[in-house]
């Protein structure tokens, strides 16, 4: 039987890369019971280089949404790794917390984080609908545009 999540990703032309390795002294995810907590994933280009920029200065909300989508792909990659490659064990995207590297007067953080939210709903349907926060950050590691952490229910 075909995994419906993998089939949907293939339909969209998306291949999940391996989840990025931690950049410091932490683990990429922790499972407690049926909850999986995934560490913040930073925006990256397809080649793995950092997707950098500051919203409101040298990046607009549309480019920021693309950066957020890259974070969502990394989050899903980490979920896949935590579930030994079996995305059918993903029950629900519970919560996303998105950090947007933005100027003090930029106020479209929700539009930026929609890039991740829209990705999860497009790939997972109702399973991808979640609660979330979208906040401004004066700076993010390596100058990246977006960082997103997630909480997922798994079986």
User: Per the domain annotation, does 59 fall within a domain?
Assistant: yes
User: Per the domain annotation, does 50 fall within a domain?
Assistant: yes
User: Mean pLDDT score of the chain, rounded to an integer?
Assistant: 96
User: Per the domain annotation, does 52 fall within a domain?
Assistant: yes
* The pLDDT of residue 3: 87
User: Per the domain annotation, does 101 fall within a domain?
Assistant: yes
What is the residue whose two structure tokens read 């200065």?
A: 57
Q: Per-residue pLDDT averaged across 7-31, rounded?
A: 92
Can you give the CATH number for the domain in which 52 is found?
A: 3.30.1330.40
Q: Which domain holds residue 90?
A: 4-17+25-138+149-154
Residue (of 90, 127, 118, 123) closest to 9 by Cα position: 123
The Cα–Cα gap between 13 and 35 comes to 29
Which backbone phi and psi does 125 adopt, to 5 degrees?
A: 65, -140
User: Per the domain annotation, does 143 fall within a domain?
Assistant: no
What is the residue whose two structure tokens read 């919560």?
A: 95
User: Per the domain annotation, does 76 fall within a domain?
Assistant: yes
Q: In total, how many domains does the chain have?
A: 1
Residue ranges with strand state E in the chain: 29-32, 35-42, 90-101, 131-137, 146-154
* The pLDDT of residue 10: 94
Q: What does the pLDDT look like over 55-74, one tens digit per residue? A: 999 999 999 999 999 999 99
User: Per the domain annotation, does 34 fall within a domain?
Assistant: yes
* The pLDDT of residue 89: 97
Instruction: Answer yes or no: is pLDDT of 19 > 90.
Output: no
User: Per the domain annotation, does 105 fall within a domain?
Assistant: yes
Q: Per-residue pLDDT averaged across 26-30, rounded?
A: 97
């Amino acid at each position: 039987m075909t995994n419906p999540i993998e089939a949907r990703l293939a339909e969209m032309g998306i291949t999940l890369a391996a989840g990025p390795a931690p950049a410091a002294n932490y683990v990429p995810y922790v499972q407690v019971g049926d909850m999986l907590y995934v560490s913040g994933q930073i925006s990256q280009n397809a080649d793995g280089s950092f997707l950098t920029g500051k919203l409101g200065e040298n990046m607009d909300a549309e480019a920021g949404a693309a950066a957020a989508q890259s974070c969502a792909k990394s989050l899903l990659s980490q979920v896949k790794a935590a579930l030994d490659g079996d995305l059918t064990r993903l029950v629900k995207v519970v919560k996303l917390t998105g950090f947007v590297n933005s100027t003090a007067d930029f106020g479209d953080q929700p539009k930026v984080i929609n890039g991740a939210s829209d990705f999860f709903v497009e790939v997972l349907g109702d399973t991808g609908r979640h609660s979330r926060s979208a906040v401004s950050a004066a700076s993010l590691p390596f100058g990246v545009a977006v960082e997103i952490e997630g909480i997922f229910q798994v079986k």
